[in-house]
Amino acid sequence: MSRRLLFNVTACQLGIYVKSSRCKGVLTVFGTMALDTTRTPFRTEERIVGGAATFGSLAASAFTKTAMVAAIGEDMPGDNILALQKKGVDTKGIVTVKGGRCFHYDSSFDYNLSSRTTLKTELNVIADFDPVIPEQYAKSEYVYLANNDPVQNIKILKLFDNPKLVVCDTIEYWIQTAPKKVIEMIGKTDGVVINDSEARFLCNEANLAKCAKKILSLGPKFTIIKKGEHGAVLFDKEGQVFPAAAFFLDEIMDPTGAGDSFAGGFLGHVARKGRSDFRTMKEAVIYGNVMGSFAVEDFGINRLLALTQNDVEGRYEKYRNLVQF
């Protein structure tokens, strides 16, 4: 590694912008930072912090330098931003819209916590957000477009300076309201991380292997189909497949954010390794599973906030032993 590169790494990691340098290993996450109302059969929490970018950034920050870009309203309690910062997430890209209210998602889970019903979706500040990224993060090597308006995602992508790897997620809401834009967005990424039900909806196809082929035909080099409590499957363009069972938990408190934490863990590991060959991506899928399994152990982001590096690596090793035969 050259001295110059070493210097650049340090500069980015310290948050210092160095012109024409690349932010090696840095991941920028763009998406929602929300106030969620989450109802399970056992407990309801109103207006707790959530959002795809929040979970994704927090999970990724356990692995690599992570910056978050999001629009919030004035109703977001400030201690949530401080909590993110404390975990090492760079929050300079979080914009508070004057007089605005946070994106609010109200949903309830069924008795076995496996299916969720949306009760209310209030876009609020994210509706007309014109995304900007702090200049220093334009040179991020890794970009995660967490679930968000595909038009905004396409727009923000233009602000990045040739990132090494771009990954997106999407949900039914956008597939339904802006299908062409979702497809255009996917075409501009290297990888798609998506729920099984949404993959089926997007591809109008029941078989997940066929869904993966359809998604890959739109441009990306790989796709990961998340199956909630059943784990995830990684597919690449060369026809390689990696099915991974989920880490097994005795108790699930709140499934919110599991998929976003999966994506954060996946990208975090890829970014810290600096490569995305199939073997590294397999490890990253397991780290994704690990982060998803932590996320659901408590309400909202509580468990992710309390995580240590030892917790993460410990569960990775536990998982390895668990599935070995």
Q: What Cα–Cα distance (Å) separates residue 159 from each residue in 131, 166, 234, 292?
A: 9, 13, 28, 29
Distance, CA of 306 to CA of 30 (rounded, Å): 23
Least distance to its own copies, CB of residue 112, Å: 3
Please, which residue, 158 or 325, has the CB nearer to its own copies? Answer: 325
Q: Provide, rounded to whole angstroms, the least separation between the CB of residue 198 and its own copies.
A: 14
Q: How far is the CB of 200 from its own copies (least distance, A)?
A: 7
- Dist. CA 211–CA 34, nearest whole Å: 29
Residue 2 or 321: which CB sits closer to its own copies? 321
Least Å distance, CB 279 to its own copies, is 8
Q: Count the alpha carbons within 13 Å of 92 in the hemisphere toward its beta carbon.
A: 14
Distance, in Å, from the CA atom of 286 to the CA atom of 305, rounded to the nearest integer, reads: 20
Nearest to 37 by CA among 164, 156, 122: 122
Return the amino acid letter for 205: E
Nearer residue to its own copies within complex by CB, 184 or 283: 283
Taking the least distance from each CB to its own copies, the nearer of 192 and 285 is 285
User: Which CB, 1 or 206, lies closer to its own copies?
Assistant: 206
75/205 with CB nearer its own copies: 205
Q: Which two tokens stand for residue 131?
A: 């995304």
Residue 232: CB atoms within 10 A of its CB come to 25
Contact at 8 Å (CB) between 99 and 121? no
Output 33 or 296, the one with its CB closest to its own copies: 296
Residues lying near its own copies in the complex (CB under 8 A) are found at 111-114, 200, 206-207, 209-210, 227, 230-231, 233, 241-252, 279, 282-283, 285-286, 320, 322-325
Residue 55 or 287 having the CB closest to its own copies = 287
Cβ of residue 242: shortest distance to its own copies, in angstroms? 7
* Cβ at position 283, least distance to its own copies in Å: 6
Strand pairing class (103-109; 34-39): parallel
Q: Among candidates 31, 35, 111, which has minimal Cα distance to 67?
A: 31
Cβ-based burial of 319 (10 A; exposed 0-12, middle 13-18, buried ≥19): buried
CA distance 9 to 316: 27
Q: At closest approach, how far in Å is the CB of 295 from its own copies?
A: 17
- Please give the structure tokens belonging to residue 174: 């956008």
CB of 252 to its own copies, least distance (A): 7
- Is residue 273 helix, strand or coil? helix
